[in-house]
Each structure stands twice: as C-alpha cells, then as structure tokens.
Structure 1
Amino acid sequence: MKKNILSIALLIFSCVVLNAQQKETNSNVILITLDGLRWQELFGGADSLLISNKKYTKNITHLKDKFWANTPEERRKILFPFIWSTIKEKGQIYGNRKHENNVDLTNNKWFSYPGYNEILTGKADDERIVSNSKLPNPNTTILETVNLTETYKNKVAAFTSWDVFPYIINETRSGVPVNAGFDIAEEEKLTDNEAYLNKLQKVTPSPWGSVRLDVFTHHYALEYMKKNHPKFMYISYGETDDFAHDGNYSAYLQSANTTDGFIKELWEFTQQDDFYKNNTTFIITTDHGRGTNPIDTWRSHGKDIEGADEVWLIAFGNKIKSTGEQTYKNQLYSNQIARTIAEILGVEITDKTIGNKLEFITY
C-alpha cells in the first residue's frame, strides 16, 4: 500500500510542453523502474541487519541459505545475478555511495508520484506534485513528448503495477496507452498468452488494493512488445516498495531477485528479435530510496526519512559504453533521465529547465 499520501487541492490542469524537434534514429529505449528498491541491496545484497531480524524476516535459515554470503560483492551477485554479470559487463551502474558515486532526486518529497514525475518529465514540481493521489499530471512526460513526434506516434507504451500511472503519464491527454494496476489486455486480437493472463489475473488475489503482482505487469508488457514492437517502452515494477512497506524483508528480497530475472528475459528477447536486436537501450532506476538508520526506517520513505532521496541508475545496450560499476566520486540526478532518452531517440528538447542529459552514459 502506498504510504506518504499527503492531502492536496486539485492540481490545476495545464500542459507544460517540452518543445521538441525530431531527428531520424533507429534506436529503441526500454525504461524500467523498480519501485523503492534501496541502493543498499543493489550494491550490497541482503542486509545483515535485516536478514536476521525476526521482526522483518520469516524463516531466517531458508532466506540465508538462498541469499547470504560473506561479502557484499558475493551477496549482490546472488540477489541480482543478471545485473552483476551481464549488465556489469555490457553497461554502466551508478549509485554506490560507498564510493561517493551518488545518484539523487531533485524533488523534495521523496515518495512515488513526485519521483516518477521527475524521472519522466526531467524536472521536479514541488509546488503541484505533492501527493500520490490520482490526479492528472499537469506536466508533460518524455513518453508524451516522444509520442507526439511523427516517427514515434503510436509507438510508445507503458505497463505498470501501480494503478496511479495513467494519471502520472496523463493517458487521456498524452495518447500513450497505459496498462496499469489490474488492467487486462484489451486489444482486438489477443495472443494465447494474453488471453490466459487475463483469465489468471482475475482469479489471483493481490496483497494490495492498488498494486498488482509484478508477474502480470511483466508478461503483459512482454506480450505487447512481441506483438506491437513499440520503440519506447516503459515498464514499472512495484512489489519491492509494497513488500517493504509491509515490513516483509523476505518477500522484498524474493521480489528483487525475481525482477532481476524479468530484466534478463526482456534482454534475451530483444537479442533474438530482429526489431530490437543491436539497437535497443535499457535504462533502469527507482523513484525513491528508503531509510537505513534507525533500521526500522527501511520500511519508509518521504522527506522526513534520511536517505530516501538516494537512488541509483543502470544503463546498458545500444549507445552505452561498457564500463561496468562506477567506483569514482560523481554526482548524477534523476532529472537527467528524460533528456537522455530524448537524445537516444533523436528527439531534441529545447526546454532548458529539463535536466541535462547523462554525458557519462550515452555516446
């Protein structure tokens, strides 16, 4: 269940257009977010203070047998085997604060809607985006900007576990199709897998009222990619945040590990599909961090939680130099992602208030 929902007056409906020009490109982008996944687990694997904590971990022996090792490097590779093998070799990984390699939010709210707005629009909006309420985003996301170009019209799509995304992306105004929450596949001609997913989702209970299980988001997205070949795809997995809010560290780790496998499956699909092979860039990040001290704050985020503005960033595939984990002192921000995607797709954004592109990633 999403926390930190603040009271808010109705957002003023307005459209801040990202003035854009278009250049020819054969590139595709897959943007992926893992809601509320801490950098501590990404770079260090299972947390020693949590995996042995009976308050947050069920069946400690079993969980340690599956995810524990003596060093952070070993533990992270067990938890995220694809990230710390294939992606480490083929791309770049930012945000290990033990090396002062920092990625931060620029918004001052440090929870989901403001975080996603920043990632997708390229700037914080602390005056208007102040809750997780289902209110249409007055700002224009990079999904909408790309979809408005002639080259990418109707070639942009989003699949998300959280049911607020149709409002964050402003589906009605943007024209970007958003399959979110408990939506089913509704195209005229369904694949056998889509028909089965529709049937299965209806009879599978979710622990939460606003977030479906990520397995449905993932497979709906994969089926859509196989059938429609969007050039810009956004997939948002949500379980890690909700299991953390529930205080279920066992499920949080299991979900993180499963999502690593989902990313691997997406990568392997793109490498055997002629439309995506050798011309697709993956960008992966999170909408906010979580607390660490005191340890109970790992369940939470928001402006009152120290460390909730600390995030991370991964990029690999086409247009990404293979330099692996970045272990030097550096500072990146979530607001740089939108312009970077535009650069990869050949869509020029003239709005100077949008964050700079990630010079260290694209070439």
Structure 2
Amino acid sequence: MKIIKISLILSFGFLFLAGSVHAQENKTENVILITFDGMRWQEVFTGADSLLVDDTGMIETPGSLLPDFWDDDPLVRREKLLPFFWNTLAKEGQIYGNRAYGNFVNNQNTMWFSYPGYNEFLSGFADDERITSNDKINNPNKTMLEHLNEIPAYKGRVLAFGSWDVFPFIINETRSGIPVNAGFAKAEGDQLTEKEQLLNRMQDEIRGPWGGVRLDPFTHHYAMEALKTKKPKVLYISYGETDDWAHENHYDQYIWSAKQTDAYIKEIWDFIQSDPQYKEKTTLIIGVDHGRGTSKISWRGHGSSIPEAGEIWLAAIGPDTPALGEMKMKGQWQTAMVARTVFKLLGLEYPDDKAAPVIEGMIR
C-alpha cells in the first residue's frame, strides 16, 4: 500500500510539474514590428551628436536644438531624444546594440541600404544575389508576415503600413495577400472611420517633400486606426522620415522625427495596455534597416562604401521578454534573427531553414 501511495504521489507530482511547465509557456499572442529607416545606434545610445546638433558652435541661437536635445551627459541626452525608450523600454524590455559594451548588432546583408535591410528583417536572411537595389521588384523571398498569413489562426489578421512606397513589393502584396498601406496609399473599404476619411483627404492635400515617401504622421495614424478597429494579430509599421531627412543633411529634422517616432511607439504601447486583446499578450520588436556614417559628411549616407552603415540596433518589450534593459553583455546579433524569434514567441517553428537563429535572450 505504501508503494502504491508513493507511486500516486510521484505521479501527481510529475503531473503538477508538467502543468507548471505548460503554464509557463509564452504569453505572446500578438506581435507588433516597428522599424525606423536609417536611424543610427549612436543617437539611440548617446542622444544628439555633438558634431551635428548645432553648427553655430554650441550657442543657443533662435531655432537651436540645444534646449531640447543637448546635455553634456550622454545618458541625459538620449533620454531627451527618446524618452519612451529610456523610461519604459529600458526598464521593462531590452535594447541591443551599444557597441561601447561590445554589444554588437549588424546587418547580415552587405548592401547596407533599405530593400536588402527590410528583406533581412522580415525574411530572416540576407539575399545579396537577388536583392541588390531599391527597385520596385516583388520580393522572391517569403517574409515572416507571409508565412504567418498562411497559418489559419493568422490568416487575414496580418497588416503592414509603411511610409516608403516600395513596401508593397518588399512584402510582395500580390503573392502574400497581405494588405500593405504604404507610400501615398489611402485607407480603403466601405466602412472607413471618420479619422481614416480625414487622413485620405489630408494625404491629397499635404504631399510632403519626397516623391516616394510620405510623412510619418500618415503612416502612424492609418496604422493606429487599423490597430483599434481591425485588431490584427501581427502588425508591421515602418517609419521613414529619419532616413530621408538625413539624406538631405537636415539633422534637426532627423532628430525631431526620431523623437516623434518614439512618441508614436509610446502611443502604441499605451493603447496595448488598455485593450483586452493586446494587454499582457503582445510583444513589440523595434529595429532598423541599416545604419549610416559618423562624420559630418558621411552621416548623410549609407551603403557598402560607408563602413559604419552596417552597424544597427534592436529593442523588444513584451510579456515574454526579460526586463534586462540596455544589454551590456558582449556578443553579436543580427536583424536576420528577428523572424525566427517572432515565430518562437508565438510558439511556432520558422518554416525556412535559411533564417538566422533565435535571439534566445529575448525570450524568457
């Protein structure tokens, strides 16, 4: 009898442990992916660049950036620039890529411009043989978004928004069936909200300075309306202004746009915390397509001719990501690792063997 009782106790014990392990499986049911175009790791970790923040010899002149962005302490500067990153992400999530600590994040691709960078981020691997330009050519690779859209639980619940008009091709909207609102595309459908109708009208009236890239407020507010009304399980948003202002050598607009994007991400995060579908069930992963140069001239550009342009960063926050803040351990990560990491967060196996491995430290 004692042996039977002991066996029963052990059996119940193993069942309890098995139940505990099951209870500790990932909580993530939704994923929001966000990218800044061409946002340097230097500003993320040290704030406004002393070489670029004010060309008047660091004097507070009318219109100067100094009052809003400058402090002698880089830890204060970075918080001035990206308050959500350093007041919330750094406390509740993880930020990778401060090379001062030997914490390296790099592109896997060797091109270091946008289409190859976004393909890598979304597909999980570089394709230097076929993705060699920013031309509007349908991506031969399936992105993680497309793979998810093929799974019944996610079918029709994957959406993408971007400021750059090449995203319908990067995501291969035709083949994938994923709605991509990018460039100067408008909200479509028979039941548009009042805000979507207003955005459609304003987009016709406020064209912005670039032919192929709309201003980020349109991208953000279209995405926010979709998040609130369509309730996607997977959402990708790409903000584009930082790269275009940098190309035009407007450092003031570059950092103002970065700060505004930080505020947009806070708005997304705050909404997530207020909505039953998303609260404590959603992971945000934030990254960038490429880096850029570091001198007063080379910061405007990127590409394989600029050595620093492959140096990037990543961040994550969510119920399964340990709150380790600024990652200071030495190591090497790549944006190619994001795709398989997203699938593991969702409890899925990534279907493409070419994809880079999971960022294990990003998952509890």
**TM-score, normalised via structure 2 length:** 0.90
Which residue does 1:343 correspond to in 2?
344
SS of the aligned residue for 1:308 comes to helix
Per-residue displacement from partner, 1:56-106 (whole Å, max 9, x unpaired)?
x99676211111011110000000001100111110000001111110011
**TM-score, normalised via structure 1 length:** 0.91
1:316 aligns with 2:342: no
Which residue does 2:219 correspond to in 1?
217
Distance 1:316 1:337, change over 3 A: same
2:245–2:254 CA contact under 8 A, matched in 1: yes
2:107–2:336 CA contact under 8 A, matched in 1: yes
2:45–2:98 CA contact under 8 A, matched in 1: yes
CA distance in 2: counterparts of 1:265 and 1:25, whole angstroms: 22
Per-residue displacement from partner, 1:98-126 (whole Å, max 9, x unpaired)?
11111001101000000000000000000
Query: Any unmatched runs of 5+ in structure 1?
Result: 1-22
Query: Any unmatched runs of 5+ in structure 2?
Result: 1-24
Which residue does 1:276 correspond to in 2?
278
Per-residue displacement from partner, 1:125-153 (whole Å, max 9, x unpaired)?
00000000000000000000000001100
SS of the aligned residue for 1:341 comes to helix
Q: How does 1:1-363 map to 2 (within 5 A)?
A: 27-53=29-55, 62-292=64-294, 294-363=295-364
SS of the aligned residue for 1:82 comes to helix
Per-residue displacement from partner, 1:253-285 (whole Å, max 9, x unpaired)?
100000000000000001001111110000000
Which is helix-richer, 1 or 2? 2
2:28–2:283 CA contact under 8 A, matched in 1: no
Distance 1:279 1:164, change over 3 A: same
CA distance in 1: counterparts of 2:226 and 2:268, whole angstroms: 12
CA distance in 1: counterparts of 2:62 and 2:49, whole angstroms: 12
CA distance in 2: counterparts of 1:136 and 1:148, whole angstroms: 18
SS of the aligned residue for 2:51 comes to helix
Return the index of the structure with the highest Cα Rg: 2
Distance 1:106 1:320, change over 3 A: same
2:28–2:345 CA contact under 8 A, matched in 1: no
1:110–1:301 CA contact under 8 A, matched in 2: yes
Pairwise CA RMSD of aligned residues? 1.8
CA distance in 2: counterparts of 1:74 and 1:334, whole angstroms: 27
Per-residue displacement from partner, 1:153-202 (whole Å, max 9, x unpaired)?
00100000000000000000001110000011012201111111111111
Distance 1:245 1:54, change over 3 A: farther
CA distance in 2: counterparts of 1:58 and 1:345, whole angstroms: 49
